Amino acid sequence: MKEYKMYIGGRWEDAASGEVITTLNPSTGEPVCRAPSAGPADADRAVRAARATFPAWSGLPQAERNKALFRIAALIREHAHEMALLEGLEHGTPYRDAFGVCMGAAEKFEWSANAASGLMGEQIPVPGERLSYVKREPVGVVGFIIPWNLPTIMTAVKLAPALAVGNTCVLKPPSINSAIGLHFAEVLSKAEGLPPGAVNVITGSGAGVGAALAAHPGVDMIGFTGSSETGKSILASAAPTVKKCVMELGGNNPVLVFADADIDAALKVLAWRQFNNSGQHCSGPGRYYVHEAVYDEFVEKFVLYAKTVKVGDPEDEATTMGPLVSREHQSKVAGYIESALKEGARLAFGGEVSEKGFFIAPTVLADCRHDMQAARDEIFGPVAVIIKYKEGDDIVSLANDSRYGLCAHVWTRDISRGLKLVDRLHVGAVFVNCQMLSNEQPWGTSVKESGIGKEGGLYGMAEFTDQKLVCVHYGE
């Protein structure tokens, strides 16, 4: 079992308390690594290191920062095989998916380097002999709290744009994925041109480290992805210093399937998304509203797809779905299946819960209702919750009847109807007959309890800057 240290100011260090945490292999329940269990004193050391490095990093020409980000991308590609194996070992991601995730992480750094040069300022026309412009400056020290569902790619999603525009960072990986976060730090430590202290990685609990970062007066901004409940707690900790916060929080994403939908095309996207990463996707389907004319076909074909999903060892090339991330989360997802069945849902397929490892079989729950707990909450697992509706039912109201507003999916051959629904669905993103998330696109937070601000694209990169207005009189 490997022993890791934290990365603070370019040095590898233990927690001040000497305490450690042990992470587990979700496929077996066996230990993977021991990592430092940091506390407020360690968070303070990391913040001070980031603060000390900020003037030098932010003062570099953009071209020099870009070179460092390109070197990081190259290092990620060089180490992608071992990073992918570790993602499978500690998170349960099948190798072929994990390797693709690592390639995607490298692309995030390259895209951010290329995009940053075009973001940082604009001239504003004003009357008279005056020059007025807005320049963007890095916010300062950014504290990142990384989610456990996609640890490698989410580290890149947050770090790359923040570094590109000149911020320095303190990053807390999810405690149950500590090895993944600290190995990422090992890769970053080899990047020529990235000064010590530009990125600091500390491990520990949310209560011990996350809250300390949110409250620390030396942290200028918090970036967080996780549950809405935890997000509210972080906001409360950040409030006394009025920190800027960008948060992607919970979601229970509705899918509207109309009678004219191409069911085969829909399931190729939706069922894949439902079971990929064991359903632990923020943008994945949460509840399906399916027209009665195609309902039976939809359920039948969903079951046929579920039967093709190969659940097993992430290192097995045949595996297409691994375990859930923890025993606690496995129990939570199993509880939703059990409650749905008690409330009258029909188990069309799956439902099995393993005792060895944290696996749950791909599960299809048919004949569900909008008022069931499984349809109201965010399950975040490989469980499809399918609800039948008939012509005349106000499914848009049902879709909007949620405390979340992350995204929605619409499947119809009537593009006019699809575009009209874009205006009526109260969410941050709408996918019509597809799902696509690219480096160029901003991701749909900012609606209801699903978050604050944007991630991705130029909109997301802009969140890591402050706008400064400059006005100069140059006439006599």
Rounded CA separation 278/272 (Å): 10
Rounded CA separation 339/342 (Å): 5
Rounded CA separation 246/248 (Å): 7
pLDDT of residue 475: 80
pLDDT of residue 444: 67
Q: Which of 110, 248, 378, 463 is catalytic?
A: 248
CATH of domain 253-432: 3.40.309.10
282 annotated active-site:
yes
Q: CATH 3.40.309.10 residue ranges in the chain? A: 253-432
Rounded CA separation 13/5 (Å): 5
Helix residue ranges per DSSP H, 309-432: 327-342, 373-376, 395-400, 415-424
The CA distances from residue 212 to 180, 276, 371, in Å, are 22, 34, 38
Was domain 2-249+450-470 assigned CATH 3.90.580.10? no
Q: Which of 282, 378, 407, 463 is catalytic?
A: 282
Q: Are 382 and 274 spatial neighbours (Cβ–Cβ below 8 Å)?
A: yes
Rounded CA separation 249/347 (Å): 29
DSSP 292: H
What percent of the chain is predicted at pLDDT more than 70? Answer: 99
Per-10-residue mean pLDDT for the chain, 476 residues long?
A: 96 97 97 97 98 97 96 98 97 96 97 90 79 92 97 97 98 97 98 98 94 97 96 96 96 98 98 97 95 98 98 95 97 98 98 96 98 97 98 97 97 97 96 92 86 94 94 86
Radius of gyration of the chain (CA): 23
The CA distances from residue 319 to 95, 152, 228, 308, 312, in Å, are 8, 20, 32, 11, 6
Q: CATH 3.40.605.10 residue ranges in the chain? A: 2-249+450-470
Q: From 218, 196, 40, select the one nearest 139 (Cα to Cα).
A: 218
Token pair 């009209």 is at which residue? 420
pLDDT tens digits along 370-413: 999 999 999 999 999 999 999 999 999 999 999 999 999 999 99
Rounded CA separation 356/10 (Å): 39
* Beta-sheet strand order (sheet of 2-3): 2-3, 31-36, 20-24
Strands (E), 109-215: 121-123, 130-138, 141-145, 168-172, 199-201
Q: What is the pTM of this model?
A: 0.95
pLDDT of residue 150: 94
Q: Which two tokens stand for residue 102?
A: 């690592």
For 232, phi then psi, to 5°, come to -65, -40
pLDDT of residue 145: 97
